[in-house]
C-alpha cells in the first residue's frame, strides 16, 4: 500500500489533472453545448449534465479506475479548487451509468469539435518543418463489447473468418509533436479507413499552414487533392504500383513528376499508351518525388517513395522530407495509447443511443493533451 506521502502526492496530481481539464474545457462552454443539444436537466438532481460531461472526460484521465473511483477523484479535484460541495456523496455505479445514458454521445461529440485543436508551440520538438505544422492522418480499430447493438452497428473484422468481438473502425488526424487528435471519425459496418479519412479531410480540420502526412494505404489522387484544396501541403507515401514519370531530376536527388486525375487517366489510357497525349495534358498537378531506404530496419532493403506538392528543393530538401515522414509514426503511438493503455481489461454495457460501450468514448474524448498525468502512467 502507498504511504501517506505517496497518497498525498497522488491526490495532488489527480487534482492538477482535473484542474487542467476544467481549464481546457470551461464550464461555460459545457453548459452552452449541453443546452444546444437539449440535455439540460429540467429539475435539480445529484448528477446534472455538466457533471456527467466532466465525468466522461475524467474516465479518460483515470482510465484504470472504476466508475465510483473516477467520480471520487473528480469530486476531490473540484473540491480542491473550491468548486464542489463537501457534503456530496458519490452515487452508485448504476446511477452513474443511467446518468451517462441521459447525457448521450452527441454532447461529447460537439464539445470535442469545439475544443480539439493543434496545440504545439514553436519550440515543440518534432512539431514543425519549415514553418509547417506536422500532422498525420491514419486509421485504426478496436474491439467493442460483444452485444447485438454493437454487432449490428459496427459489424466484425475479417473477410473470411469474422473477429470474436464487434470491431470499431476509426480514423484520426493528429498533431505529430503533441499527439493531440484534432479530428476523429468512427465508422459503422461497411465504412473503412478510406471513407472515414475523406470525412476528416472534408470536415474543415485540415487548414493552411499544415503538412499532412499519410501512409500508402491512404494515398489516392482524391485524398491528395483534398489536402491541397484545404490550403495545406501534403506528404504521402505511395506504393510501387503508382506511376510517377520522371520529368526532371532535381539537385537534392528528388525528381519532378506529375499526378493526373485517376478518372481522366483511365479515360485517356489509349491515347497515353500510343503517344497521342502526354500525362501533363490531363487534369492534375506537379509533384516532387523522394525515394530513399532505411538501411537498419532488419527486414531487407525497401525503397520508400514519398510524393509532395512542395516542388522547390531549396524550400525543403529531400532529406528533411524523409526525416519529417518519420515523425508520422508518432500517430501510431497515439493509437497505441488509445487501444492498449487507455483500455481496461473489463467491458462495459452497450449504450442504446450510440451502440457503443466505453470503447466509443475513445474517439470522442475532448482532451487534446499529449500525455496522461504522471500518477496514471506509473499506476
Give the pLDDT confidence score for residue 225 in this predicted structure: 96
Q: Counting every residue, how long is the chain?
A: 379
Helices 49-61 and 4-24, packing angle to 10 deg: 120
Per-residue confidence (pLDDT) for residue 137, from 0 to 100? 96
CATH architecture of 128-333: Alpha-Beta Complex (3.90)
Q: Which of the pair, 341 or 273, is modelled with greater confidence?
A: 273
Q: Please check the confidence at residue 340 and state whether its pLDDT lies above 80.
A: no
Closest listed residue to residue 313, CA positions, set 259, 236, 255, 257 = 255
Contact 305, 290 (CB under 8 A): yes
Query: Are 106 and 135 in contact, with CB atoms under 8 Å apart?
Result: no
Q: State residue 86's pLDDT score.
A: 60
- State residue 201's pLDDT score: 97
Helix (H, G, I), strand (E, B) or coil at 351: strand
- Which of these, 211, 193, 280, lies nearest to 245 by C-alpha position? 280
Candidates 249, 251, 244, 308; CA nearest to 280 is: 244
Write down the pLDDT at residue 166: 92
Long-range contacts of 162-170 (CB under 8 A, 24+ apart): 167/141, 167/142, 167/143, 168/141, 168/142, 168/143, 168/144, 168/356, 168/359, 168/360, 168/363, 169/139, 169/141, 169/193, 169/196, 170/139, 170/140, 170/141, 170/142, 170/196, 170/362, 170/363
Locate CATH 3.90.350.10 in the chain.
Answer: 128-333
CB neighbours (10 Å) of residue 261?
16
For the question of whether the overall pTM of this predicted structure is more than 0.85, the answer is no
User: In this predicted structure, which of 37-46, 49-58, 106-115 has the lowest mean pLDDT?
Assistant: 37-46
* Residue among 356, 379, 376, 368 at smallest CA distance from 151: 356
* pLDDT on residue 366: 32
List the Cα angle 118/120/125 in 5-degree steps.
140
Dihedral of CA 199/205/206/207: which sign? positive
pLDDT-based confidence at residue 198 (cuts at 50, 70, 90): very high
CA quadruple 158, 331, 16, 39: dihedral sign? negative
Contacts of 229 (CB under 8 A, 6+ apart): none
Q: Evaluate if residue 335 carries a pLDDT over 60.
A: yes
For the chain, give the mean pLDDT. 82
Split at pLDDT 50, 70, 90, the class of 300 is low
**Which of the two residues, 363 and 331, has the higher pLDDT score?**
331
pLDDT above 90 covers what percent of the chain? 49
Q: Are 270 and 249 in contact (CB under 8 A)?
A: no
The rounded distance, in Å, linking the Cα atoms of 120 and 270 is 49
Helix (H) or strand (E) holding 35: helix 27-36
Residue 255: other Cβ atoms inside 10 A? 19
DSSP bridge partners of 258: 286
Average of per-residue pLDDT across 92-99: 87
Average pLDDT of the segment spanning 36-48: 83
Amino acid at each position: 500500500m502507498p504511504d501517506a506521502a505517496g497518497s498525498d502526492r497522488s491526490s495532488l496530481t489527480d487534482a492538477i489533472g482535473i484542474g487542467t481539464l476544467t481549464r481546457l474545457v470551461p464550464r461555460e462552454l459545457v453548459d452552452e453545448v449541453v443546452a444546444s443539444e437539449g440535455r439540460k436537466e429540467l429539475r435539480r438532481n445529484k448528477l446534472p449534465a455538466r457533471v456527467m460531461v466532466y465525468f466522461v472526460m475524467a474516465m479518460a484521465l483515470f482510465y484504470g479506475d472504476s466508475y465510483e473511483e473516477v467520480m471520487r477523484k473528480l469530486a476531490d479535484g473540484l473540491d480542491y479548487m473550491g468548486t464542489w460541495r463537501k457534503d456530496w456523496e458519490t452515487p452508485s455505479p448504476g446511477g452513474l451509468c443511467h446518468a451517462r445514458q441521459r447525457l448521450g454521445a452527441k454532447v461529447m461529440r460537439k464539445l470535442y469539435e469545439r475544443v480539439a485543436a493543434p496545440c504545439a508551440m514553436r519550440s515543440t520538438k518534432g512539431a514543425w518543418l519549415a514553418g509547417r505544422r506536422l500532422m498525420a492522418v491514419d486509421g485504426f480499430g478496436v474491439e467493442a463489447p460483444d452485444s447485438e447493438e454493437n454487432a449490428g452497428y459496427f459489424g466484425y473484422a475479417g473477410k473470411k473468418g469474422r473477429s470474436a468481438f464487434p470491431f470499431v473502425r476509426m480514423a484520426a488526424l493528429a498533431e505529430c509533436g503533441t499527439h493531440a487528435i484534432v479530428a476523429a471519425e468512427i465508422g459503422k459496418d461497411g465504412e473503412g479507413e478510406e471513407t472515414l479519412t475523406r470525412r476528416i479531410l472534408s470536415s474543415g480540420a485540415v487548414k493552411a499552414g499544415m503538412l499532412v502526412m499519410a501512409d500508402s494505404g491512404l494515398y489516392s489522387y482524391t485524398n491528395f487533392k483534398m489536402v491541397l484544396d484545404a490550403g495545406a501541403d501534403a506528404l504521402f507515401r505511395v506504393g510501387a504500383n503508382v506511376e510517377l514519370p520522371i520529368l526532371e531530376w532535381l539537385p537534392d536527388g528528388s525528381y519532378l513528376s506529375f499526378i493526373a486525375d485517376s478518372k481522366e487517366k483511365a479515360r485517356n489510357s489509349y491515347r497515353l499508351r500510343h503517344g497521342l497525349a502526354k500525362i501533363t495534358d490531363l487534369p492534375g498537378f506537379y509533384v516532387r518525388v523522394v525515394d530513399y531506404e532505411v538501411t537498419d530496419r532488419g527486414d531487407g532493403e525497401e525503397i520508400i517513395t514519398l510524393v509532395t506538392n512542395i516542388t522547390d528543393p531549396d524550400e525543403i530538401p529531400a532529406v528533411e522530407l524523409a526525416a519529417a515522414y518519420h515523425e508520422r509514426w508518432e500517430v501510431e503511438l497515439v493509437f497505441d495509447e488509445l487501444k492498449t493503455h487507455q483500455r481496461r481489461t473489463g467491458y462495459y454495457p452497450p449504450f442504446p443511443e450510440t451502440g457503443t460501450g466505453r470503447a466509443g468514448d475513445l474517439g470522442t474524448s475532448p482532451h487534446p493533451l499529449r500525455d496522461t498525468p504522471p500518477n496514471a502512467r506509473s499506476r
